[in-house]
Structure formats: C-alpha cells, structure tokens
Amino acid sequence: MSAIVNVGLVVLAAVVLRQWLLNDSQTSAQLAETLNSSYDYIVVGGGSAGSVVASRLSEDPYVSVLLLEAGEFDGDRPQVFIPGLALLNLRSNFDWWYMSEPQDGVMTGLKGGRSYWPRGKILGGSSSLNAMQYVRASRHDYDRWAEYTKDEGWSYQHVLPYFKKSEDIQIPGLQNSPYHGQGGPFTINHLKSQPLSAKIIQAGQAAGFPYNEDYNGRTMEGICNSQVNSLNGERMSTGRAFIHPVLGRPNLDVAVRAQVTKIVIKNKKAVGVEVIKDGRKCVVNANKEIILSAGAVNSPQILMLSGIGPKKHLESLKIPVVVDLPVGQNLQDHMFFDMGVRIREPLTSAWQDFKNWWSQQQFKWFGTGPLSSPFNLEVLAFKSTTKETKEKDWPDLEIHFIEIMPNNILMDIFNYAEETKAELADRNRGDYGFTCLPSIMRPESIGNISLKSADPFDYPLIYANYLAAQEDREVLIRGIQECKKIVNAKPLQDVGAEFTEKGPESACKQHRYDSHEYWECLVKHRALTIYHPIGTCKMGPKGDPTAVVDPELRVQGISGLRVADASIMPWLVSGNTNAPTIMIGERAADLIKGKKLPPLDL
C-alpha cells in the first residue's frame, strides 16, 4: 500500500488550495458537538441512504432531526472528493475494513481465503469511497419487489420518480429524457478521461453488444460510457449532495464520530439510541421515529445488539430477546472475476500519471484528467446471456472495465495472496492496460451475518457463501467468454491488446487450459466481491416470517423503528447498488411523511 500512499501525498500537496476546501472548512463548524436529550427523528448512519433521509425529513421546519455518523466529517478530505485518489480511502480510517469469513474451496487465492469488504466510515458512507457508478438496475428488479411485497409502491413505475427526484442529469444527450431528472442535488455526468474507452466500446459492439446511450433508460442491454456521480470532476457523495447544503438548518443536527451501539426499546417501542460520541456514552430519545440506515453490515449488527434478531443466536450471546426476527439472513452480493489485459498504445493512464505535474494541473484548474476518474472505470456493459433473460430483456451479466494496468497495487486491493500475486506477476510488466471484470447480476447464493459477541465494537461475522449455487459460477464463466470476445475484437487488437495470463494458473493446472472445468476452478479460486452487500434486513409482506421489515420499512413487532438502506432489498438488483440505495432513502422519507410521488408509466 506504500506506493498508493506516496502517489496520494504528492497529489494532495498540489490540490489543497482548491476553493472547496475553504468552503468545507466553514461547513464543518456547523456540526453538532453536543447532542440534545431528544429529537423528533433520529437517523442512524450518514451514508448513501441516511444522508438522504435526514436531509429530506429536515425540509419540514417543524420537526427536529439528528443524523448520527460513526465516522468522520468528509468536508476537508481531498482524497474523498478527488476521484483518482479513491484507492487512498480503502483500508484507511474512513473504511470499516470488514473481511468475510473463509469458505471451503472458494477464494483460495485470497489472503486467508477472505474477501475484503470496504464500507464507508465517513459522512456519505460508501458513496464517499466507491467507484461512483450510477446504475439504477432493471425495471424487472423492482417489479419483482412489488409482486413479492404485495405493495405496488416498489414497482418500477413507482420508484422511477424517486430516482428522478434526486438527480441532476448533466449528460447533454439525456437532459430531455423522460427517464432522467434535472435540478436534484445529485449530479450525474459522463467521464471520458481515458482514450481507450472508445476502443473498448467499439470492440464491445464488434463482439455483439449493442451501443446503448442510456442503460438507465428503456433497456440496460449494451455497452457505453458509464454514468457517474460527479460535478466539475469531483466526487458527488450523498454527504456532499444532500447534507452539506443544509448544514445551516436550525432543525438539523449532524454529529460525526458518533457510533450507535444499541436501540433503546420499551414495551416494544423504539424510544431512543445509545450512542458513543467522541468517547462519551449517552442516550438520545426519539419523539417520533428512529430510522436505521447503517448499511447491510451495521444495520443488522445494531438490531441484534438491541435484542432484535434470531432468538437462538441472541440467547447464545446472552442478549435479551425483544423480537425474534431473521436479522442478518438473506445476505447477497455481486461477484466479479479479474482478467488483466495489456495494450501497446498509451491510451490509458499509467500509475505514474497520478502524480505527474500535468495531471495535477488538469484537475486543479479544469477538473479533468486521470485524477477526475474513479478507479479509471469509465465503461460498463450489460448482457442477457440466456434465452430466458434475452426474452425478458433482463441482463444477468455486467462487465466493468478498469482502464489501468492491474499490477500489484490493484491486486493488493483485491486482497490476493502473495502466491496469487506471484502467479500473476506478468501484470507488473508494462505501463498501459485494463482489467475486464465480468460480474454476476442476480446471484442465487445466499449468506448471512451474525454477531461475534455482545460487544458492539467486535466486528460481526460475515458468511458470504459465495458461489455456492452452480448458476453463479456459470454466469461468471459466460462472462469470461464475453471478455475474451471483446479483447480479441479488431478495435482492441489494433492497439495490441493481449491477456496478461496466457496459460494455466497453477491452482487449476489439473484441468485442460481454457476448458469449462478450468474456468470453473479458477472462478472459485479467485473470484472477488464488487462490494454490493444487501438483504440482511429483508423487506417482505406484512407477517412474512422471512422478513425483517414490512413494505413501509417498519421493523416487524416494533413501533417507532424503520430500516432504510440496502439491507432491506429482498433481492439484489441487476447493477451497482448506490443509486438504488439513494432511491430507498428518498422513498423512506416520503413514507415517514405520509406522502408519495405519482407513478410514471414509461
């Protein structure tokens, strides 16, 4: 990680005088250092959903709102708002730095057989750390939610207005699209800092992917430049979009370094939270409701610590059971497989570009260049790979293209074991290249999260159960074949594209190279998470014994308590999860207010 830090320090020295640093130092003075004894609403977690909920609830001047964030304030953190420094935030103080538990025969190429799970511990949550991809997923995902929950409010035509409400689309060709919104706090743009992007899109078209100007529109199928949450080249996190502009509201308190350890419950009613703020423990009461938006790991952890969860599990830890609910179950996550590609032409950024003078000046004055690009991820592709998914127009495969040479720096982020890195050492030869990352959209494998102990500072145990379902492995193998088609297409062959791994890797050498058995073995050996965990506080119809919350996000059996974040998803959506999580925050705020936007039938 020292190479990443060195790059970051050089760049930070060049950009610390940007005007937004001065502005944000003023907003940080508006944070709450002391807490009132009570508020009407308490929002736990200032991430992708919690920031939205707190901002929208505080629009009513007659209610008081407290937003509690366990991490730091994001305002004076240039490594957060400079997209090209996103790697600096991983395994930092702004990251919970979770790890999954080892699995038999899976992820054997990772250190300790464990998958690294970055989760944001900072205002804006994981939207302050991620690759900034704005993907809403398929209309079929939400229609499936609505059918299951028996609540049409979760159908595509009902959630589309909430996507549009947040959005300020700035992509010229989409500004008049009925699928997009203007004037919202969350700005969406294209990034085109990497010349190779055009070649990848052309190669994708040659390999059978249609060009799709807007995968957030009528259909997801196809390939194009990705849509990202960016403004003037800087990251637009939910903290920056939804909280910074409203820090001056007298009815909103935002407290950082404030970790909630327990929901206080009396007579099956949530009445307050136990919080440790700057090392001091206190209880803050809620007059109306508590909204838990701590994410797919922390929300179930807090519920279980509060006595809401599986009875046997809580009893084993001597936690008094308040309500027996399947908290922590239904864990789902996207996975991808990493295929390194070297090119001959200087059409992508080299790692040294992040610290050279010209790159710094490009970003400092124009908000462009390598530093404006998150992980150099600027192209996405979606494909329906089976007869069923093609007929329904419901892609089951997504491909990310990280346009930078996948050398040891990137492999450290992937948590590859030293022997795996040695096996892939040829990636360190050459400056220019990219990574083709096919990923499963709707995994069938389901895991769970449980408490390690009753200590709130003990990290929970993450049993991801990756690739348990055969179909999950098959989707990745089909995705590998699609990557091969794209890399072997003429537009990429013209620039000398070649896979960095050209023969069998030792972990799977017992199988014939390039056979189905070989790829299945390799997928199990070193498949990776895309960091999209969901489902651990599952939403379902009222009374559903497999659900934690009802369709209005109220925790079953408890009044005054809702969950609003990615943990409520009954199924993982077909795409990156940040945009859907923001939508959940928008809709949760209206549910609490007793309002709803009219549906859009597109």
Q: Could you report the per-residue pLDDT of 283-309, keeping only the tens digit for each?
A: 999 999 999 999 999 999 999 999 999
pLDDT of residue 254: 98
pLDDT at 16 over 80: no
Report the pLDDT value the prediction gives residue 26, as an integer from 0 to 100.
53
Q: pTM of the prediction?
A: 0.95
Give the pLDDT of residue 104: 96
How confident is the model at residue 14, as a pLDDT? 42
For residue 5, the model assigns a pLDDT of 47
Of the chain, the end-to-end C-alpha distance in Å amounts to 47
Q: Per the residue annotation, which of 244, 334, 525, 532 is the catalytic one?
A: 532
For 37-86, write each residue's pLDDT tens digit: 999 999 999 999 999 999 999 999 999 999 999 999 998 788 899 999 98
On whether the CB atoms of residues 162 and 583 are closer than 8 A, the answer is yes
Which of 81-85, 167-171, 507-511, 548-552 has the least mean pLDDT? 81-85
Tell me what the mean pLDDT of segment 143-171 comes to: 98
Q: Is residue 448 pLDDT above 70, yes or no? A: yes
pLDDT tens-digit map of 78-107? 889 999 998 899 999 999 999 999 999 999
- The pLDDT tens digits of the residues spanning 412-438 come to 999 999 999 999 999 999 899 999 999
pLDDT at 357: 86
The pLDDT of 166-183, averaged and rounded, is: 96
What is the spatial distance between Cα 285 and Cα 35, in angstroms, rounded to a whole number?
10
Annotated ligand binding at 573? The verdict is no
Provide the pLDDT for residue 13.
43
**How far apart, in whole angstroms, are the C-alpha atoms of residue 305 and residue 452?**
11
Q: Provide the pLDDT for residue 76.
A: 72
CA distance readout (Å), 376 to 132, 225, 244, 271: 11, 12, 26, 45
- Among candidates 261, 286, 285, which has minimal Cα distance to 274? 261
Which architecture characterizes domain 192-225+335-440+467-526 according to CATH? 2-Layer Sandwich (3.30)
How large is the C-alpha radius of gyration of the chain? Answer: 23
Known catalytic residue: 190? Answer: no
pLDDT in tens, 123-142: 999 999 999 999 999 999 99
